[in-house]
Amino acid sequence: MVRSGLLNSRITGGVRQILIPVLLVVFTSGVSRAADIEHVLSAMEALNARTEKIIMDAEKNSEAYDAILSKMEEAQGQSNSALAAIRAGNFGKLKSLALANVALGNQYVKEYQRFLSEVGNDSSCYRPEVIDGFNDNIAKVKTFAQRLPQIQVVSSEQDANIALMDLFGNSAYVFVVPTMFAAQTLCIVGDAEPVFEQFNAMEGDIVAGFLAQAMTEGELGDEYDEMEDIEISSLPIDDIAFTDPLVEVCVKTYAASIEATRTDELFDLLCTPPKGSAVQLNDLSHFQGISDVTFIGVSIADLSPLNTLPYLNNVVIENSQVSSLGDLSALKGSLTLLNADVEDITPLITSGLETVYVDDAADCRALSPFLTAEDVVVVFTGGNEEVIVGEDNGSGLYVVTNCTKDSVK
């Protein structure tokens, strides 16, 4: 969900208008705590003021970047040619826009570090761990930007199709940079919680009032219009009875970072529990609007619960082990396995996926079922030159891997 710097400022103002008067006037026994919250709010407002232009500039870059991609899509639609789409793209401009967002991202991280030093480590808003996520995404944008010029060097329709998948699949990192920053304003509610608990847990009513006001006053952006036709249930995330405590922590932590309080407000999920943690994915069935999920450093017994998410379009499993893929026949879009150990990849052949990316596989021989399957094209990018196995019929599965063909046999 995209949130502009202006909206972020509005939300902070909404918190101040509702939260501080309640604490100072009604909760007279919590004066010192209210003073602490006032301090955090002031630091938050200062952060928003310092970074509003950074976020707005990053959003402008993303809009310009998206306009180039749209032009390429239009060229492909008119000509039914991937080569025509590649030739319609201004890759030099794409690179410069992506690198501009890298620079803006680095600027934001510096300001956020300053904010952390101002709020102090006893505040719920003290979240130094998010900096690693910021830096990781920024690094991915930079790496992708540097190789953008090479993506356009193609001479056949098949190579152009692969290049387009590479371009559109990784461009998500560019768009993430402006959206991942405006995501910390509701952390102030955590600071207020001890005071609320003294008065019969009034937090829910106050937060609900704040959200209603913020939603009324703020302009939430075009992405909400695009999701209007999604018919999914809307429940408070805090009311969900999670069966896996690690998934509960992942969901609630990430939801708080993007200011999502209800199930229909969670469109993506990043889960990075302690390395090697075993997780069950059944709890994700409560979040029917999810389109992107990323799990890093986990052990997953079964991926089949993802099959129940109708709008899921992008799955990333990184530095993880997967015991069973299960039934993925309804899963669409792409699956990225990055240094992921999957016991049996055969179910991917009958999945509804369009593309599977396999990088840094623990054992490339595990990919051998792809070589003999029908309607599967395997693109080996490892070695000195690209090797393609299989015929593209326009509707099969593409597997792109940095393994070599010889390593799979």
Span 220-234, mean pLDDT?
A: 51
pLDDT at 373 over 60: yes
Task: For residue 381, give the nearest of 362, 363, 396, 364 by alpha carbon.
Answer: 364
Instruction: State the pLDDT at residue 283.
Output: 94
Instruction: State the pLDDT at residue 24.
Output: 40
Where does the pLDDT of residue 306 fall: very low under 50, low under 70, confident under 90, or very high at 90 and above? very high
Distance (Å, whole) CA 308 – CA 330: 8
Task: For residue 192, give the nearest of 14, 46, 43, 15 by alpha carbon.
Answer: 15
pLDDT at 337 over 50: yes
Instruction: State the pLDDT at residue 360.
Output: 87
Instruction: State the pLDDT at residue 264.
Output: 87
Instruction: State the pLDDT at residue 42.
Output: 83
pLDDT at 20 over 70: no
Of 25-34, 130-139, 399-408, the one with minimum mean pLDDT is: 25-34
Helices of type H across 182-237: 188-197, 203-217, 222-226
Instruction: State the pLDDT at residue 186.
Output: 46
Kindly report, residue by residue over 159-200, the tens digit of the pLDDT. 888 888 788 877 877 877 766 665 444 454 444 444 444 444
Kindly report, residue by residue over 237-282, the tens digit of the pLDDT. 999 999 998 889 889 888 887 788 999 888 888 887 777 788 999 9
Instruction: State the pLDDT at residue 187.
Output: 55
Of 34-48, 83-97, 175-189, the one with minimum mean pLDDT is: 175-189
Distance (Å, whole) CA 210 – CA 20: 12
CA 65 to chain centre: 18
